[in-house]
Amino acid sequence: MHRLTGLALVLVAAGAMAQPIYRQVDKNGKVTFSDRAPSASTEPASAGQQGATAPSGANAAGLPYELRQVAQRYPVTLYSGDECGPCGAARTLLTTRGIPFEERTVKSNADIEALQRLSNQNALPLLTIGSQQLKGFSDVEWSQYLDAAGYPKSNSLPAGYRNGPVRPLVAQQATPAPRGAEAPAPAAQPAPPPPASSEPTPSNPAGIKF
C-alpha cells in the first residue's frame, strides 16, 4: 500500500485468464467491452466499428492511417502513480506494443479524489480504452482488450514518435498573488529644500546660510 498526502493508493496487479472480449453498444450508442458472451443485440469487437471519443492527450498526428483510426475510436489513457511497480509494467507493455496513449499521474489529494470519482476506487494502475476501464494491471487481460479494440499486436509507430507529455490528473491552478502583494509603488521623493537665503527671516534673524 502506498500512501500519498494522507490518502491511500492500493497498487493492484490483477491476474486474468485468457478469454474472448466482446464489444457491446447500448441503446444510447455507448460502447463498452466485456468478457461476457454477447446477447442478440451485441457482437464481437471489431476495429472497423464506430467507437467512443477522439484521443485527447495522445499525439495522433503522424500515425499510420489504420492506427490513427483506432486511436480516435478508442483512445487509451494510463493512470499511474509514483513508486508503483505495476504502473511501470503497464507503461512498458503499452510502449513495447506501440500503443499511442496519454498518461495522467495521481499524486495530490485532488488527483486521488478525481480518480475515485472516475473509477469508484483508489487503486492504480487504471487503464481506459475508450469508455472501458481496466482496474489493476494484467498483461494478458490488457492485451485482450487492446486486441478487441483493433490495436496492432506489434509496434507500428513511426520512428521518433512520442506520446504527449505526462500530466497530473487534476490540472494545477496557478496560485494568484495575495491581495496587497503587488510591488510597492516607489516612495515619493521629498521636495527639494528651498534655495538658501541670506536674508533675515523670523526663524533665522541673523540670515545665516546653512
Sorting pLDDT into bands at 50, 70 and 90, what band is 15? very low
User: Mind listing the pLDDT tens digit for each residue in 42-60?
Assistant: 444 433 333 333 344 456 6
Q: Which of 43-47, 59-63, 181-185, 197-201 has the lowest mean pLDDT?
A: 43-47
Alpha-carbon distances of 141 from 6, 16, 49, 54, 123, rounded to whole Å: 31, 6, 21, 23, 17
Q: What's the pLDDT score for residue 62?
A: 79
User: Mind listing the pLDDT tens digit for each residue in 54-113?
Assistant: 344 456 667 899 999 999 999 999 999 998 999 999 999 999 999 999 999 999 999 999
Residue 44: closest CA among 199, 196, 135, 149: 149
Q: What's the pLDDT score for residue 5?
A: 43
Torsion angles phi and psi, residue 69, rounded to 5? -65, -45
Sorting pLDDT into bands at 50, 70 and 90, what band is 160? confident
| 3-state class (DSSP) for residue 48 | coil
Q: What's the pLDDT score for residue 41?
A: 45
Average pLDDT, the chain: 74
CATH number listed for the domain at residues 2-13+20-168 = 3.40.30.10
Sorting pLDDT into bands at 50, 70 and 90, what band is 33? low
Q: What's the pLDDT score for residue 17?
A: 45
